[in-house]
Structure 1
Amino acid sequence: MEPVRDGLDALLLAPTAGGKTEAAMFPLLSRMAAQQWGGTSVLYLAPLKALLNNLEPRLEQYASWLGRRVALWHGDITASRRRNVLFERPDILLTTPESLEAMLVSVNVDHRQFFAGLQAVVIDEVHAFAGDDRGWHLLAVLERLTRVAGRPLQRIGLSATVGNPDQLLAWLQGSSVQNRAARVVAPDLAKLADGPPPGEVELDYVGSLVNAAAVIAGLHQGEKRLVFCESRQTVEELGQLLRAHGVTTFLSHASLSMDERRRAEQAFTESRDCVIVSTSTLELGIDVGDLDRVIQIDAPATVASFLQRLGRTGRRPGSSRNCLFLTLGGQPLVEAAALLLLWSRGWVEPVNAPPEPRHIVAQQMLALCLQEHRIGDQAWTEAWNGLRPFGGSARPIVRHLVEHGYLEQDEGMLFIGPAAEERFGRRHFMEMTAVFTGPPEFTVLLGRTELGRIDPSLLTEEVRGERRLLLGGRSWRVTYIDWRRRRCFVEPADGGGRARWQGAGWAYRGYQLSQAVREVLLGVDPPVALTRRALTRLGQEREDKLHLVHPGGTVIVRADNGDLRWWTWAGFRANATLTATLGEVVDPVERFDGNSIRLRENVTPGSWRRLTADAASRLCLPEINEKALDGLKFGAALPQRLAAATLAARLADLDAAAAVLDETVRFVVI
């Protein structure tokens, strides 16, 4: 791969199993040998520990051809293995950004010596970082690492197809975007312009999870099938239903223990006539062997997710990529059709970093002080090499950290203060290296074996008789709850278990996908195979919602009960922006969802035109409920107004809101 061999920053795009890892690592290994790189010279970063575990033997084999070594470093690696890594530094280190930062702040790691020979960083599944705060954290850590190594580091991103590759590469380059050459390598992009992407895709409507299980059990017997679900609860319930049909079934989701997931994935890899049911944990590049079929329950949140899942199949010579959608309701059927319509046109979501990461700036200031022990109260602005927003614009945040005891200031130096010790100092500041907040969960144990984690509400709600849980697709009877240590002990049960987890921040449907939903309701079908059941139910949905859509613009509908609702089909963020802007016409109590906005009952066509005439020129950021600030990790280390401003900027979609206001509006009475 010429750009990598020549030392350029690069973004390598290819479908799942398209050889991205080899395209990055083979040229780096060649340079490592030719230029006699010593010590740990290559970092390989990935968003999931399981992905790194999966890659280790492959990369170890490649490195061994040149007499080089590979090692893992993440939260599941034992202390003895870590000591070996520090004692005999590997040539290639596989880790996560969080574990990398933990190395930088650890008193047990001489990070300057360890990273003295670092030359290049490979970021696998870079799109999975760039779209949320892990991406800002990754960039900031890479800038600090550049200063530790004392040289610019070649940055190589690996990704499936994205809608804005040039912007993604520029983002990945960080502070060096202006002075380092870079190139996007995307051999498959030209094919997307030739028509619908390749793949055998079928859309079906089955009406319930029970029916979905019956269809899966009856279809494609003797083949290896991977079923994607959009929640852990659905994974558990479908797994139990499939086992009741006698199907050999394995499960994978984030709340199962690592050992449980490894056992399931290994068993699935070695079997033939079987099913593995998973959330997005198996969407990324973890190898589960040669698949025959991918089945999707309802619709994933994005076209990009669908592309990743579709790419799991068709790896065998003579086989093709395929996916069967089984939708459980009318609305999920319409959403799946809309997603497939966008996919057929070659459209993929652009990956954009969330705006205004002020809470990550606060976290990075604290991490920098841990790394350096003391930092000059003016010199800290240089630590991220001018990467916005970690430079001088962060002074109000630093001032707040000092004023509230998160940082101490003495004789021109900054260092960790008592408030940071109290809030983030547990377990050697481990909480401070992760920029996302997980809901509190209880660990479930069968004897000494960890099965996974559950939502605590399952242990607190009133039940008659035995308390039973559903985990790993099996029912368990709760025998003892250790409230202080957040553990519960179980024994096998015959059935009756229940599964539940708090929502994990479902991605809001965006403007393009919402507009595609409107197209589907107006009669446009995606160019895929639709079953008779799907066509019949789509017809019902179109008939039921005929008055809510119009090809020439948006519709304001007045119902018999006086309810007045504006059907924008613009997505949640655009509607949040419109609601904040149009306070004179929006109902102050029940406001909006992703499809529509409720208006005041006294709005007329005349008052609407008068009150919204200049709205596009005065768009406002959405209002933020104080309770929402609790979900912003490190938000407590910010002034409340800045924390609220951060969330408001992330909830807004100004461009989509302006596009909606530019459309013709029709008033309809039903």
Structure 2
Amino acid sequence: MNEERLLDPVVLHHVVNSLGWPDLRPLQRASIGPLVQGDDALLLAPTAGGKTEAALFPLLSRMAEQSWTGTSLLYLCPLKALLNNLLPRLERYAGWLGRAVALWHGDVATSARRAVLWQRPDILLSTPESLEAMLVSVNVDHRLFFAGLRAVVVDEVHAFAGDDRGWHLLAVLERLTRVTDRPLQRVGLSATVGNPDQLLTWLQGSGAGSRPGRVIAPELRDKPAADSTAPPPGQIELDYVGSLTNAAKVISALHAGEKRLVFCESRQTVEELGQLLRERGITTFLSHASLSADERRRSEQAFAEARDCVIVSTSTLELGIDVGDLDRFIQIDSPATVASFLQRLGRTGRRPGGTRNCLLLCRSGAELTKAAALLLLWGRGWVEPVVAPPEPRHIVAQQVMALCLQEHRIGDRLWSAEWNGLGPFGPGAEPIVRHLVDQGYLDGDGGLLFIGPEAERRFGRRHFMEMTAVFTGPPEFTVLHGRTELGRVDPSLLTEKVPGERRLLLGGRAWRVTYVDWRRRRCFVEPADGGGRARWTASGWVGTGHALTRAMRDVLLGADPPVQLTARAKTRLSVERDERSALVHPGGSMAVRTAKGDLLWWTWAGLRANATLAATLSEVVDPAQRFDDYAIRLRDNLTSEDWRSLVADAGHRICLPEVNDRAVAGLKFSTALPERLARATLAARLADLPGAAALLDEPVRFVVLSP
């Protein structure tokens, strides 16, 4: 069958005549049949692979053929900036059929929201958090507004699925299904992932197994990382530079006249590198989450329109925000995951005749080893599976309270039906609901549950806005130059003692602090001629994963990634291998006694596996349970004979890691859970049972380093 014939004739006419496309891409052609007939689907393609059109053209055709009315299509994204970026494109496509598109998120003005409620656009662009805010708002008749809803597109679905925003998304979609009283077609868009079938099943939620669904990825091979869009090894270069100053020298000296996107793994590094590049006369723009939305927008727009410039970013530009055609992708140190590397790599080579490319600049031997390991995994065609975090009990508590806000009152025996049997939200959540009632988060009367005084006290500010946000961010101070918001900074920069005037680094520029409003958490600044510091508190990171740390071990044992290594990288990698030669062995792990008498078990297993091992092997592990991504400290007096006798049965009694009080306090909505359930949730998420079991199956060699 000629799939294009299934598209609405008007859509097909504009694809050919308005867009000037001679043909559809394979993904766009393959998606037409399943989406037109209403199947769920996961569309996979590299960045800039035409996924938005692959979803929209068939769904617009279905909208026209079946005469959908009202708000019939939701388009959900993880970032407001991505929604803003997509709006003009979707307006153009919908306009071909006389259909309307609108935005709804936290930055949309009140007057614009009123217009959305009055006009009910055919396509609504939103985030899951803003969608839930609509469901619980007293100003939105959600049953009327969503009465015509038929389909949901989830862009960058992998960015949701791997954390609690994914559970929140699924729960809200199940509640929408109840509101509309019909199953909703679910279409996910994603870059390469390691487990596409499981990701589709996850996206289908309670409909998995009962609704047809397809993974559509015609442009990818069985090993997705080694697909036809991957550049030849010569286009990926790994270099060792030793410092951020040297990285700035390399970036400013190479690729003059080109448009370069530089990714860093922290906001502090973005700020420091931006300042260094500007000092060298390089036209430089910055983007990260603690810059104000206006600052990021101005920076991204200026970069999109310029040539011979650099934009330095954290992962905020990793997703599909359009910053124009790029010549080159540069990475400072190693990305956290192969999936992240692939997403960033896909930002380059989009112009005809362009080539995807990357230059990795590492500041330390450890980062060089990690980057080499990541590229080794990439060369093997391996990508991380996207796995939902287990046991989201805190999200269950949040959802039950949100449902009470939405419906005002719910039956104390009927609440679990609102999620259509979606695992964590079923009858097994009864202890959580009982706790909510016992602690006053919910009140009950006559077999009905409703919001209680404790939920009002803790989450009721600003119309329960705190309840619709799944994450708790660290407290930050807003920085203002006059009335212009520049961004936010860590409060420690305003409290630590400094000689002379206090200076901040924000937006790649130095600022002198003139006044701090402690009560309103605001800081006023004026431009300074240099200096300044940047700092933010990191949160939510659970260390390097098992596969990547094991690949680092492979690199130290001599494996080279299939990319071009500079002479500096080869020399430094040789030094790393020499210095760590006693810590790795091809036949198993190493327990190494240092000259100081410390005994370290070099597992190369990742933080979560090491946390699991430390909890399981309490007989041999240092009482303080000190460990990191690579090693665990054992008791100083442990012998190899003790080891064999004490851990002989460890593989049959692996247990969950211990959780500290600070971690419990950092879990949002943990106060709405019994403490034991909050700890059990975090312990399950910190554990890596398969990784720990794999280590226990390996022999351990005890060695003593010479003084």
TM-score, normalised to structure 2's length? 0.94
Written as runs of structure 1 = structure 2, the 5 A alignment for 1:158-307 is 158-190=189-221, 192=223, 197-199=230-232, 200-307=235-342
Q: 1:558-587, CA deviations, whole angstroms, 9 ceiling, x for partnerless residues? A: 112211111110000000000000000001
Written as runs of structure 1 = structure 2, the 5 A alignment for 1:368-379 is 368-379=403-414
Q: Could you tell me how far apart the structure 2 residues matched to 1:466 and 1:664 are?
A: 58
Q: Could you tell me how far apart the structure 1 residues matched to 2:492 and 2:301 are?
A: 32
Q: 1:164-218, CA deviations, whole angstroms, 9 ceiling, x for partnerless residues? A: 0000000110001021000001123316479684351000000000000010000
Q: Could you tell me how far apart the structure 2 residues matched to 1:243 and 1:593 are?
A: 36
> Offset of 1:505 from its aligned partner?
2.3
Q: Could you tell me how far apart the structure 2 residues matched to 1:193 and 1:28 are?
A: 26
Q: Could you tell me how far apart the structure 2 residues matched to 1:508 and 1:7 are?
A: 40
Match of 2:22 in 1: none
Q: 1:301-326, CA deviations, whole angstroms, 9 ceiling, x for partnerless residues? A: 10000000000001111111000000
Match of 1:119 in 2: 150
Among 485, 490, 496, the residue aligned to 1:455:
490
One-letter amino acid matched to 1:198: P
Residue identity over aligned pairs, in percent, reads 76
- 1:28 and 2:63 equivalent? no
Query: SS of the counterpart of 2:633?
Result: strand
Among 567, 570, 581, the residue aligned to 2:602:
567
Q: Could you tell me how far apart the structure 2 residues matched to 1:572 and 1:162 are?
A: 22
Q: Could you tell me how far apart the structure 1 residues matched to 2:129 and 2:674 are?
A: 25
Match of 2:26 in 1: none
Q: Could you tell me how far apart the structure 1 residues matched to 2:226 and 2:158 are?
A: 24
Match of 2:15 in 1: none
One-letter amino acid matched to 1:151: R
Query: SS of the counterpart of 2:59?
Result: helix
The structure 1 segments of at least 4 consecutive aligned residues displaced by more than 2 Å after TM superposition are: 191-199, 504-507
Among 474, 480, 496, the residue aligned to 2:515:
480
Query: SS of the counterpart of 2:113?
Result: helix
Written as runs of structure 1 = structure 2, the 5 A alignment for 1:241-640 is 241-589=276-624, 591-640=626-675
**Is the contact made by 1:509 and 1:571 (CA closer than 8 Å) also made in structure 2?**
yes
Query: SS of the counterpart of 1:275?
Result: strand
Written as runs of structure 1 = structure 2, the 5 A alignment for 1:652-667 is 652-667=687-702
Match of 1:98 in 2: 129
**Is the contact made by 1:301 and 1:507 (CA closer than 8 Å) also made in structure 2?**
no
> Offset of 1:280 from its aligned partner?
0.1
> Offset of 1:496 from its aligned partner?
1.2
Match of 2:7 in 1: none
**Is the contact made by 2:152 and 2:184 (CA closer than 8 Å) also made in structure 1?**
yes
> Offset of 1:506 from its aligned partner?
2.7
Q: Which segment is superposed worse, 609-618 or 53-62?
A: 609-618
Q: Could you tell me how far apart the structure 2 residues matched to 1:322 and 1:191 are?
A: 22
Consecutive unaligned residues of structure 2, counting only runs of 5 or more, are 1-30
- 1:107 and 2:142 equivalent? no
Query: SS of the counterpart of 2:424?
Result: coil
Q: 1:433-488, CA deviations, whole angstroms, 9 ceiling, x for partnerless residues? A: 01111110111111111110011111111112111111000011111111111111
> Offset of 1:122 from its aligned partner?
0.2
Match of 2:678 in 1: 643
Q: Could you tell me how far apart the structure 1 residues matched to 2:103 and 2:198 are?
A: 31
Written as runs of structure 1 = structure 2, the 5 A alignment for 1:4-43 is 4-43=35-74
Q: State the aligned residue count.
A: 670
One-letter amino acid matched to 1:355: P
Among 159, 175, 186, the residue aligned to 1:144:
175
Distance change >3 Å, CA 194–CA 470, structure 1 → 2: closer
**Is the contact made by 2:146 and 2:180 (CA closer than 8 Å) also made in structure 1?**
yes
Match of 1:88 in 2: 119
- 1:52 and 2:83 equivalent? yes
> Offset of 1:602 from its aligned partner?
1.9
Among 71, 74, 78, the residue aligned to 2:109:
78
Q: Could you tell me how far apart the structure 2 residues matched to 1:623 and 1:129 are?
A: 27
Query: SS of the counterpart of 2:443?
Result: strand
Q: Which segment is superposed worse, 122-131 or 180-189?
A: 180-189
Match of 2:13 in 1: none
**Is the contact made by 1:251 and 1:261 (CA closer than 8 Å) also made in structure 2?**
yes
Query: SS of the counterpart of 2:177?
Result: helix
**Is the contact made by 2:542 and 2:686 (CA closer than 8 Å) also made in structure 1?**
no
**Is the contact made by 2:416 and 2:425 (CA closer than 8 Å) also made in structure 1?**
yes
Q: Could you tell me how far apart the structure 2 residues matched to 1:290 and 1:204 are?
A: 24
**Is the contact made by 1:10 and 1:185 (CA closer than 8 Å) also made in structure 2?**
yes
**Is the contact made by 2:194 and 2:224 (CA closer than 8 Å) also made in structure 1?**
no
Query: SS of the counterpart of 1:383?
Result: helix
Q: Could you tell me how far apart the structure 1 residues matched to 2:256 and 2:124 are?
A: 41
Consecutive unaligned residues of structure 1, counting only runs of 5 or more, are none
One-letter amino acid matched to 1:460: T
Q: Which segment is superposed worse, 593-602 or 420-429?
A: 593-602
**Is the contact made by 1:137 and 1:435 (CA closer than 8 Å) also made in structure 2?**
yes
CA RMSD of aligned residues (A): 1.0
> Offset of 1:592 from its aligned partner?
0.8
Q: Could you tell me how far apart the structure 2 residues matched to 1:37 and 1:412 are?
A: 38
> Offset of 1:131 from its aligned partner?
0.2
One-letter amino acid matched to 2:589: T
Q: Could you tell me how far apart the structure 2 residues matched to 1:312 and 1:443 are?
A: 31
One-letter amino acid matched to 1:211: N
Q: Could you tell me how far apart the structure 2 residues matched to 1:298 and 1:111 are?
A: 47
Distance change >3 Å, CA 273–CA 191, structure 1 → 2: farther
Match of 2:17 in 1: none
